[in-house]
Amino acid sequence: MGARRPLLAALAAVALAYAGCGGDDEPAASTLPSAPDTIKLSSPSIKDGKLDAANTCDGAGTPPTIVWREVPAGQAVETVLVVEDPDAKDGSFFHWTAYGMSASTGAGLAPDGQFPTGTLNGKNSAGTDGWTPPCPPEGDGPHRYIFSMYALKDASALSSGAEPQEVLDTLQGAVARGTFTATYERK
């Protein structure tokens, strides 16, 4: 039995070392809930899948323009936007939550992140309301920023400044979503 202990300890050390390197081998999974992918979500600010430096801490930090269409008519009353960085060191980092947008028109535009009147911003993972610009650690490699718009059949009843988890909880049972991913890497 005594000879097995060093072998078990060595195997455990190898397993832990391998687990710690997992981020390099396989991208971290998103924590966002799924829903039918029927909303068309895009941003003219994002070219070739890369976030412009102007939208990050290396620039002015302005939110990107968001465009959405094809929200299911008659099935949804509210849309919710969530931007998640699943590659953050300590787990998912939420850069933006916005909600309370009427789904009645089936489409919308938020130039430079300016959503229609009545839109509320929730807290981001930095603890402030609204957009917090991406600022991954230098040398960390590219981070993914998953932009997702959800259509809710019932109003969320979220108040301004809701925590990211509160927003995520309201997305369960969403009738539709649209999503795209942008990357950014600091040099």
Q: CA–CA separation, 54 vs 128, rounded Å?
A: 19
Quick: pLDDT tens for 103-144: 999 999 999 999 999 999 999 999 999 999 999 999 999 999
Q: What is the pTM of this model?
A: 0.84
Per-residue pLDDT at 26:
66
In one-letter notation, the amino acid at residue 136 is P
Give the DSSP per-residue string, 45-95. T-BTTB--GGGSTTTT-PPPPEEEE---TTT-SEEEEEEEETTSTTS-EEE
Task: Identify the burial level of 69 via C-beta atoms within 10 angstroms of its C-beta, where 0-12 means exposed, 13-18 middle and 19 or more buried.
Answer: middle
Q: What is the mean pLDDT of residues 76-86?
A: 97
**Position 93 pLDDT exceeds 60:** yes
